[in-house]
Structure 1
Amino acid sequence: RNPGRFNLQRQEAIIGNARASDYYVAAVYREKASGARSDRPELLRMIEDLQPGEVVIAEKIDRISRLPLLEAERLVDAIKAKGARLAVPGIVDLSELAEASSGVAKVVLQGVQDMLLRVALQIARDDFEDRRERQRQGIDLAK
């Protein structure tokens, strides 16, 4: 098995789904650094390149960040500050519904969207820490 081939197939499927949903794919950024780092060159380049109204599509939330929650939120805020939004398959996206709403409904929908994203970011961090701890335990057992 060639894991790289499967990753490429998943990326191509995501790009195909985006195009099928009438999105224009402006660029594809392939990061090699860990999501637990904030100084990832491709991520920083992507944020720099963002234009208002664009959508960042990530395969999974941990492809965007495995950082502690506050740092992950700063990263998402940097995307939002460019006038863009984040879309991750598997995370409910209420942004269009929120934009079409007003008053209390808009505030509630935006709040729920932010909460879902925060929960997903925290789960990604917790998973990273759990894996790191199990790896450390495995290394200790092997000594």
Structure 2
Amino acid sequence: MLSQRLRTARRAKGLTQEELAEKVRTTKGTISNYENNHSSPPNEMLTQLADILHVSTDWLLGRVDDVSAASADAAVTGANRTLDDLLQEKIDDPDDYYFLDGYLEASEEEKKEIRRYWYDLKKQMKIQRVKESRPPSLYDITEKRKNE
């Protein structure tokens, strides 16, 4: 919950991970770890993030669903979200995140090239009758080990 809401609030403010990191005096990697649920911020950092993003710590933690009127941004409430924002919200799997890292910031020309390679690969798989399989993600493997 925290990871998704932190990303949503950061984007609503129009900040990159690097810009947010500068504001709270940390690294882009730390913010990325928070947004990808690899680590959780300590209480002091959580408070700083909430202050900078103009949301409550309760909202970031998922304890409440309402963003107060004082901190509600159109993008947080969903009014003006872009397709890129909606796509990013759907990326829960860290493997997918790392695969797509940088895609949303790529130029249109770079995105077209990536899509062209993807479609060519899919076409070749179909021609060669390669069956798609979905091995467990790194996230699934680590979660399984945690539960053992």
Same fold (TM over 0.5): no
TM-score by length of 1: 0.27
Give the strand-richer structure, 1 or 2.
1
